[in-house]
């Protein structure tokens, strides 16, 4: 909402339009009669999804179908935010848009099944897969690392999972471009470059001037309820084919830290 200008944009919260409520979604979409519907709403707590699959599928799959049905009803185009978790993480080179889905977690399955159903319902919809999101105003990895670093001399961070950190502001700008380019099909939208969580944490600590020591550990030492893909780097070829270029994740991190510092200083 902050990044989109030059068009009339309506933002709906879950209180105004719970995507599990098909009737309500149809009402709000009919009232607005938009050219595009951007579906960013989701249950994104990966470990929470593992423990509550009914809610995860109700929101991430069935809710997505409700929104797509409403969009189709008024002749609107749809862009759906999906995830690197639709892949199993067994590759060692970047995932292309045509690679087979093989999710290993409940969250990943909800997104994969939503993709399939949406493409059946609206073959011209745009599915934007992204990964490792961070930004101001919500829970994110850099914010967590900085808060932990403020009170600890050392941090242990997983070094055997590799992906593409993506700044929410950059993703938002790309979404606007995708809509304006009338994009369809699957596209991978991440900041350029890749790293492990350990490498990401090191860059966060170093760039913020902290003296905390970051130590690499294996996933086995940091067990979580939901399995994570060991390698989920998304190829940028589909995005470049549309003429859209994303900044590097290091550049994105620098801008995030500057924004965070400004907000911290003003409060």
CATH of domain 22-265: 3.40.50.720
Q: Is 95 a catalytic residue?
A: no
* pLDDT tens string 55-74: 999 999 999 999 999 999 99
* pLDDT tens string 143-176: 999 999 999 999 999 999 999 999 999 999 999 9
Predicted confidence at residue 106, as pLDDT, reads: 97
Mean pLDDT of 107-119: 98
Predicted confidence at residue 50, as pLDDT, reads: 96
Q: How far apart, in whole angstroms, are the C-alpha atoms of residue 124 and residue 140?
A: 32
How open is the CA angle 132-133-135, to the nearest 5 degrees?
A: 145
Provide the CB-side half-sphere exposure for 16 (13 A, CA).
8
Mean pLDDT of 115-120: 98
Catalytic residue among 95, 107, 231, 256: 107
Backbone torsions φ then ψ of 214, nearest 5 degrees = -105, 125
How open is the CA angle 110-116-120, to the nearest 5 degrees?
A: 140
């Amino acid at each position: 909402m902050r990044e989109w200008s030059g068009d009339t944009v309506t933002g709906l919260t879950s209180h105004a339009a719970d995507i599990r409520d098909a009737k309500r979604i149809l009402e709000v979409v009919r009232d607005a009669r938009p050219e595009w519907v951007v579906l960013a709403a989701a249950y994104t707590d990966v470990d929470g999804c593992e423990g509550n699959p009914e809610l995860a599928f109700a929101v991430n799959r069935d809710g997505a179908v409700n929104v797509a049905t409403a969009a189709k009803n008024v002749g609107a185009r749809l862009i759906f935010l999906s995830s690197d978790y639709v892949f199993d993480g067994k590759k060692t080179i970047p995932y292309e848009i045509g690679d087979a889905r093989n999710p290993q977690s409940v969250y990943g399955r909800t997104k994969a099944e939503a993709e399939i159903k949406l493409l059946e319902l609206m073959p011209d919809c745009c599915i934007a897969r992204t990964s490792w999101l961070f930004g101001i105003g919500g829970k994110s990895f850099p914010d967590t690392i900085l808060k932990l670093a403020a009170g600890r001399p050392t941090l242990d961070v997983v070094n055997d999972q590799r992906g593409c950190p993506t700044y929410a502001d950059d993703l938002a700008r790309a979404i606007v471009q995708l809509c304006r380019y009338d994009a369809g099909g699957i596209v991978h939208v991440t900041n350029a470059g890749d790293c492990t969580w350990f490498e990401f944490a090191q860059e966060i600590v170093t760039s913020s001037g902290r003296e905390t020591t970051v130590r690499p550990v294996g996933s086995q030492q940091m067990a979580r309820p939901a399995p994570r893909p060991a390698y989920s780097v998304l190829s940028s070829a589909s995005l470049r084919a549309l003429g859209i270029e994303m900044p590097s994740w290091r550049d994105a991190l620098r801008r995030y830290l500057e924004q965070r510092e400004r907000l911290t200083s003003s409060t």
